[in-house]
């Protein structure tokens, strides 16, 4: 376990507030070092997006409602969105809207604003203090902190209850970890109640809460890895900015969420960097497909086990009936029909794996010597830059068409 969270909350500015770190900075930095550098070191802001502007407007509606109790204007898109979430929103003036957080941990200052923090939140005990964040998205189930988000498929594939999977996802993201850490440090409690309320920005207005309870010990286990380590890297880079070209790009996310606004402009990747990014994206796609297959198999086994349990209970009742007394065992376990489908399903999966394994093994080959020394795995193809560029464009178009 890592060091306890026992630093004090401070209400003072750092000597140089420009080196303070926020959750959004960490998220951008972890996603792509170079994009973070363009924004924070060069000071180039991405052009505003309509979706981001709508999110800001709705947050303003929420803050006004919490502070004054003023009813949202249902004729505006932002107002109608917030109204759809009112069944899960605390009454006006029952907590603090846009609460500023400011604390130090191991020499790093963390700043941020919590959308709402207080009690009387529907769905929770009225006396429970809840940290609430409002999220707007065109598809929350696809992009939010949900198990249906393919970015978290590897965490969902670890199994467990819905609550365990949800907790695992929240603990992997810097924002909930920072907010929950602030909460337990501020109050001295051992738990933090988090509630992310998602609003659909496209289609019919609707909202969906995503709730989780995080314990102090769980936060201590992940804080260094998820928050502190990248934060220290950010502070070092701010204090001694390197050339932007020295910051590692992540070509695999260049086309994510509508595309990076700096791609091809402030950030120009070589053909080889683009190719590496596409290969990484393909590997991620294949890994996600494998995890999805494993999850589907687990669900089938769970369903079959549940069915077998019901059948076994039924068989037990039959065996206890007077008409069967003294006739011995009926359908012994090794031949009971209700268990044979599950056995066939597992056997089928094993056969599939058995067929695939030799194929993969047969494709492996050791590097053989080639004229001039070296091996086939290290010999560069004899193609021109123009040919390589054309091949990369074709491969990129194919991959984007296949996996979006």
Q: What is the pLDDT of residues 163-208, one digit of tens each?
A: 999 999 999 999 999 999 999 999 999 999 999 999 999 999 999 9
The rounded percent of the chain whose pLDDT value lies above 70 is 68
Q: Provide the sign of the torsion angle of the four alpha carbons 189, 195, 196, 197, taken in this order.
A: negative
Q: Tokens standing for 101?
A: 């957080």
Tokens 């609707």 belong to 206
> Residue 39: which of 261, 197, 191, 288 has the closest Cα?
261
Using alpha carbons only, what angle is made at residue 85 by residues 191 and 82, rounded to the nearest 5 degrees? 115
Q: Please state, rounded to an integer, the average pLDDT across all residues of the chain.
A: 79
For 322, which DSSP code? G
**Per-residue pLDDT band at 328 (split at 50, 70, 90):** very low
Instruction: State whether the Cα torsion 345-347-353-356 is positive or negative.
Output: negative
Determine the pLDDT at residue 252. Answer: 82
DSSP symbols for 148-210:
TSGGGHHHHTT---HHHHHHHHHTTSHHHHHHHHHHHHHH--SEEEEEEEEEE-SSS--EEEE
CATH T-level fold of 45-224: Lambda Exonuclease; Chain A (3.90.320)
Domain boundaries, the chain: 45-224
The whole-number pLDDT of residue 384 equals 56
pLDDT computed for residue 255 by the predictor: 81
* Residue owning tokens 């190719």: 275
Q: What average pLDDT does range 45-73 have in this prediction?
A: 94
């Amino acid at each position: 376990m890592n060091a306890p969270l026992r630093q004090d909350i401070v209400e003072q500015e750092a000597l140089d507030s420009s080196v303070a770190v926020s959750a959004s900075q960490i998220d951008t930095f972890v996603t792509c070092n170079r994009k973070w550098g363009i924004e924070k070191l060069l000071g180039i802001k991405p052009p505003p997006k309509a979706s981001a502007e709508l999110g800001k407007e709705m947050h303003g509606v929420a803050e006004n409602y919490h502070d004054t109790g003023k009813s949202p204007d249902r004729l505006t898109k932002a107002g109608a969105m917030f109204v759809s979430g009112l069944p899960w929103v605390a009454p006006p003036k029952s907590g603090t809207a846009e609460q500023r957080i400011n604390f130090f941990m191991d020499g790093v200052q963390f700043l941020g604003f919590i959308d709402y923090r207080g009690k009387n939140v529907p769905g929770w005990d009225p006396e429970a203090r809840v940290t609430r964040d409002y999220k707007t998205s065109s598809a929350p189930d696809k992009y939010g902190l949900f198990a249906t988000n393919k970015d978290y498929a590897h965490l969902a594939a670890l199994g467990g209850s819905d609550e365990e999977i949800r907790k695992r996802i929240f603990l992997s993201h810097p924002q909930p970890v920072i907010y929950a850490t602030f909460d337990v440090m501020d109050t001295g409690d051992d738990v933090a109640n988090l509630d992310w309320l998602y609003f659909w920005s496209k289609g019919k207005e609707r909202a969906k809460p995503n709730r989780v309870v995080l314990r102090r010990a769980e936060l201590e286990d992940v804080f260094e890895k998820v928050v502190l380590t990248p934060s220290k890297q950010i502070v070092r880079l701010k204090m001694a900015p390197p050339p932007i070209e020295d910051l590692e790009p992540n070509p695999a996310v260049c086309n994510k969420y509508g595309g990076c606004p700096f791609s091809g402009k402030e950030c120009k990747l070589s053909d080889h960097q683009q190719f590496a990014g596409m290969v990484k994206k393909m590997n991620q796609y294949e890994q996600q497909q494998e995890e999805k297959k494993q999850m589907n198999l687990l669900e089938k086994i769970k369903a079959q086990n549940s069915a077998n349990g019901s059948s076994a209970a039924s068989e037990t009742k039959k065996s206890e009936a007077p008409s069967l007394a003294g006739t011995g065992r009926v359908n012994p376990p090794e031949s009971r029909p209700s268990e044979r489908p599950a056995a066939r399903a597992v056997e089928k999966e094993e056969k599939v794996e058995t067929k695939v394994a030799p194929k993969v093994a047969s494709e492996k080959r050791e590097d053989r010597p080639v004229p001039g020394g070296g091996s086939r795995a290290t010999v560069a193809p004899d193609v021109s830059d123009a040919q390589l560029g054309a091949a990369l464009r074709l491969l990129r178009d194919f991959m984007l068409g296949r996996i979006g």
